[in-house]
Amino acid sequence: MNELMAIWAEWIKPSAGLPTVQWSILLAIAAAAGHLVHRYTGLPKVTGYSAVGTFAGLAGFNGAAWPLQGTGLFLLELGVAVVLFEAGGRISLRWFRHNPMVLVQSLAESTLTFVLSYWLLGVLGMPEVVAESLALLAMAASPAVLSRVVIDTRAAGPVTERALVLSTLSTLYALTLCSARAGMLPRGEAGLSDTLLPVLVVLGLSVVVGAVLAVVLRAALRVMSPASENTAILLLSLIAAGAALAANFGGSAPLAALLGGMLLKQLNPRPWAWPRQMGTASSMLTMLMFVLVSVVAAQADWSRPVASLVIGLVLARMVAKVAGVALGNVGSGTSWKQGLWVGCAMSPMSSVALLLVSQYVVASGPIGRQVAMVALPAILLMEILGAVLATLALYRAGECSRPWSPAVRSISSGPVRES
């Protein structure tokens, strides 16, 4: 691919630069692949996006530098921030007051994921600080992948809602702990007990930025209609500004957006009705995010020793998610079978994990490279396989209104409109 790009670059001189042309073509192919995969197999579109990014990464596409920096890093942070803002806006703190076992369930599955992953990686010979960092990463599920699966399958019900909430909460824990841990790496391999102050700093700064974002948006909603395209532009602009400010002051941009969405939900509890323009912009950022993650992760080391570590981490994480949800299932309002499907639906990993891995690499090169060696293949595997498992779980739970049957179009039927 690099040789083809070099030949191409000799005679084409795009005004926006050759990387812009490359990314535009890659996203166009990803959009078409996502549509075809969903239409003819019934799988979510994200599997098509990830497959295209994977093929591009394996073919040597060099449009994404690692570790992420500059425009690529900001676009990933913005995409994650938009997704997490929407995910935070679905969480009502009043729900936890009436059903506190949901919080117990969330803490149980995240804690068990960390403990089991850390123990297994230690048994497999990973250094303590690397095993600890990977175990913290394993806590994070992917609200981005799960929300796309929910949209594509038109899922709704207790399993869907519980999986979205638990995925969002696990992401909150991982963002707080990993951001603080990455900041401690240059000072030495300190234990988790020494990261309490950095955790409070990251969480405090993110809360401040998120609170400002929520208050400004609440004030805007008093005079602007939620269905206005200007409201969508204002929302995206404020999330982008908040992401830049949070990262600059030492907080976490995705965490600030997540907390901002949760706080806005408490200030404005009515159902949100963002305009169609917001959905289109969010979908574009989400697709870019999935393609970027798969392009970067596909360029990782795929040697046999790494494969055993990746498989071990993935299996330990999946078992811990299911077992943790089951442990906290008593009194949570769901049946044991529903708890099983919730745990399976939480299996995807994607952009949040990649963003945290990039933080580790920037904070400490030697440790970060060891973390990335295992984390990148695991992220790519669970972005694709996790989306499939989440789809299966939601269908088995009986909450998908769209039947799983690939659309077969005859020659005489004409084009089928995508809903």
Question: pTM higher than 0.95, yes or no?
Answer: no
Kindly report the CATH number assigned to the domain that includes residue 141: 1.20.1530.20
What pLDDT was estimated at residue 305? 82
What pLDDT was estimated at residue 271? 60
- Whole-angstrom distance, CA of residue 320 vs CA of residue 359: 25
Secondary structure letter of residue 400 according to DSSP: B
Examine residue 268 and state whether it is found in any structural domain, yes or no: yes
Examine residue 190 and state whether it is found in any structural domain, yes or no: yes
Examine residue 227 and state whether it is found in any structural domain, yes or no: yes
Residue pLDDT, tens place only, 320-339? 999 999 888 877 777 888 88
Examine residue 331 and state whether it is found in any structural domain, yes or no: yes
pLDDT confidence bin for 411, thresholds 50/70/90? very low
What is the span of the domain harbouring residue 365? 76-288+300-396
Structural domain count, the chain: 1
Count CB neighbours of 83 within 10 A: 29
Examine residue 251 and state whether it is found in any structural domain, yes or no: yes
> By the 8 A CB rule, do 323 and 316 touch?
no
What percentage of residues in the chain have a pLDDT greater than 90? 37
Examine residue 239 and state whether it is found in any structural domain, yes or no: yes
Examine residue 94 and state whether it is found in any structural domain, yes or no: yes
Planar angle of CA 342, 344, 346, nearest 5 degrees: 75
The residues, ordered by sequence, that sit 6+ positions from 196 with a Cβ below 8 Å of its Cβ are none
Examine residue 90 and state whether it is found in any structural domain, yes or no: yes
Give backbone dihedrals phi and psi of 113, rounded to 5 degrees, phi first: -60, -45
Q: Please give the span between the terminal C-alpha atoms of the chain, in angstroms, as a whole number.
A: 35
- Whole-angstrom distance, CA of residue 320 vs CA of residue 170: 13
